[in-house]
């Protein structure tokens, strides 16, 4: 049998390419002589001339040299930093079309990783935002100094150049204002700024978070050491120039690391936390508490979970990967009992506090892995009717998948932030579960991220 040897693309080779679809990272995907080529910035339906920038055994990467046929959905990105920054991937695509492409990314993942008849599945239209700008409630901007000027922003795509971002189009206006103000305070007071190369200097990062519903603002300065020069003056200036600041915090991280936060946190002024509201629930957010970055869409996502659970007041519910308890608390008023677990002990403490604050007596939170905790409960005769999972990007642990298949809850509600791992997990669960439907929700407009809520029912 004669095998056709694929003609390999050469580095720097230019060639025409028709873009078939969007990839999982928001790049255009096309095929040249049967070889897959990923092209950032190219859109489905476009005919482009591409230069090969990277050659891998299974695929090539390229950059656009020329657009011969332009997508009717291509728009001018409003953000001046869009091309350099890399924080967003889809600002050049009309928003309504972004929602369609995100649904398509889920369909592609199911086609690639499952044996299901994807065209027979109920995959709903993506739930978008009325105003898809200024939605992020938290920013973490690195700080640097160039020619005596203090910069704050993000590192450019595939580079170590810090892009000084005056105004981020997807950040809440109050976090933008906070960063700009703190940056000028550091400049005015000549506070030593950390230099990554020499590892000298003190201030590394400015983190700003706003309670979107409450308007409360928190500023965190991440420093390399506890001693912060002119600390009192910095506090006074922040309070004077940003009257809405309710919490000023210092976090110490002297390590050579890409992690933002260090282990030690000190309250400098005001409260240690700010308040935020989601629906009828209130949360206290301390500097290091994980909280959804887009509260408006979080409410829509959690309402979809509630719809999928369709509780009657009799059900036992497990909130796996419960974090500070948000999803479980959202369901608790309609459930007989909600039990949650998480590997981070501080999150469990917060979940207990949150349940108590809302007067909920039908919740129980324990630290630990779901796959270890759940079988113990089942052994003691406590079997859940509904399990809700909201795992990290890596998806469900294999042991947990096996636990679910053994425990066999009537319903499994899978909240996913990664279509590939969702599809792989659905394939594993398909031995006993049918997919009722999948509801995509756009949590991060203008980026390639897509979240969804999938309802799986026991056969």
Task: List active site positions.
Answer: 417
- Under 8 Å between Cβ of 338 and 328: yes
CA 239 – CA 342 distance, rounded (Å): 36
- Under 8 Å between Cβ of 355 and 347: no
- Under 8 Å between Cβ of 202 and 264: no
Quickly list H helices, 68-198: 82-85, 95-113, 173-188
- Under 8 Å between Cβ of 338 and 331: yes
Report how far Cα 277 is from the mean position of its chain's Cα atoms: 19
Residue 73 corresponds to which tokens in the numbers above?
């959905």
Residue 440 corresponds to which tokens in the numbers above?
């995509």
* Cα Rg of the chain, angstroms: 24
User: Residue 392 contacts by C-beta under 8 Å, 6 or more apart in sequence?
Assistant: 321, 417
Residue 430 corresponds to which tokens in the numbers above?
């398909």
CA 260 – CA 69 distance, rounded (Å): 42
DSSP 193: B
Closest CA to 227 of 182, 263, 179, 191: 191
Report how far Cα 382 is from the mean position of its chain's Cα atoms: 33
Sign of CA dihedral 310, 312, 318, 321: positive
Task: Using alpha carbons, list the distances in angstroms from residue 329 to 33, 106, 289, 358.
Answer: 53, 28, 17, 9
- Under 8 Å between Cβ of 42 and 61: no
CA 199 – CA 201 distance, rounded (Å): 7
How many CB atoms neighbour CB 170 within 10 A? 21
Interhelix angle 95-113/419-429, nearest 10 degrees: 40
How many CB atoms neighbour CB 374 within 10 A? 25
């Amino acid at each position: 049998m004669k095998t056709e040897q694929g003609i390999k693309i050469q580095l720097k080779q230019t060639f025409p390419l028709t873009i078939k679809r969007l990839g999982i990272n928001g790049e255009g995907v096309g095929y040249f002589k049967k070889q897959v080529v990923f092209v950032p910035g190219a859109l489905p339906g476009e005919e482009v001339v591409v230069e090969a920038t990277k050659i891998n055994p299974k695929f090539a990467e390229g950059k656009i040299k020329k657009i011969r046929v332009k997508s009717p959905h291509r728009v001018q990105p409003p953000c001046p930093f869009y091309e350099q920054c890399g924080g967003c991937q889809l600002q050049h695509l009309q928003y309504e079309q972004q929602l369609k492409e995100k649904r398509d990314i889920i369909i592609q993942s199911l086609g690639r990783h499952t044996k299901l008849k994807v065209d027979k599945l109920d995959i709903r239209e993506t739930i978008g935002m009325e105003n898809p700008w200024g939605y992020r409630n938290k920013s973490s901007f690195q700080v640097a100094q160039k020619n005596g000027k203090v910069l704050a922003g993000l590192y450019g795509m595939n580079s170590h150049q810090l892009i000084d971002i005056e105004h981020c189009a997807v950040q809440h206006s109050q976090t933008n204002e906070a960063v700009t103000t703190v940056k000028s305070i550091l400049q005015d007071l000549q506070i030593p700024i950390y230099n990554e190369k020499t590892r000298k200097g003190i201030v590394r990062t400015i983190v700003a978070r706003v309670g979107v519903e409450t308007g409360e603002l928190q500023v965190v300065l991440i420093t390399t050491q506890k001693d912060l020069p002119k600390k009192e003056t910095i506090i006074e200036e922040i309070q004077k120039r940003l009257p809405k600041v309710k919490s000023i915090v210092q976090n110490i991280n002297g390590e050579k690391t890409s992690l933002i936060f260090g282990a030690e946190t000190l309250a400098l002024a005001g409260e240690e936390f700010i308040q935020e509201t989601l629906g009828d629930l209130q949360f206290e957010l301390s500097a290091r508490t994980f909280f959804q970055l887009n509260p408006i869409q979080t409410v829509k996502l959690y309402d979809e979970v509630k719809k999928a659970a369709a509780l009657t007041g009799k059900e036992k519910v497990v909130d796996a990967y419960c974090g500070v308890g948000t999803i479980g608390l959202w369901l608790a008023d309609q459930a007989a009992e909600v039990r949650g677990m998480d590997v981070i002990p501080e999150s469990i403490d917060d979940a207990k506090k949150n349940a108590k604050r809302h007067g909920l007596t039908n919740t129980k939170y324990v630290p630990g892995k779901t796959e270890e905790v759940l079988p113990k409960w089942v052994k003691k005769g406590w079997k859940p009717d509904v399990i809700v999972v909201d795992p990290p990007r890596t998806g469900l642990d294999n042991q947990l998948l096996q636990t679910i298949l053994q425990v066999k809850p009537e319903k499994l509600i899978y909240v996913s932030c990664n279509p590939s791992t969702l599809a792989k997990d659905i394939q594993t669960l398909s031995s006993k579960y049918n997919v009722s439907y999948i509801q995509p929700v756009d949590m991060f407009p203008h980026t390639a991220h897509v979240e969804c809520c999938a309802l799986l029912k026991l056969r």
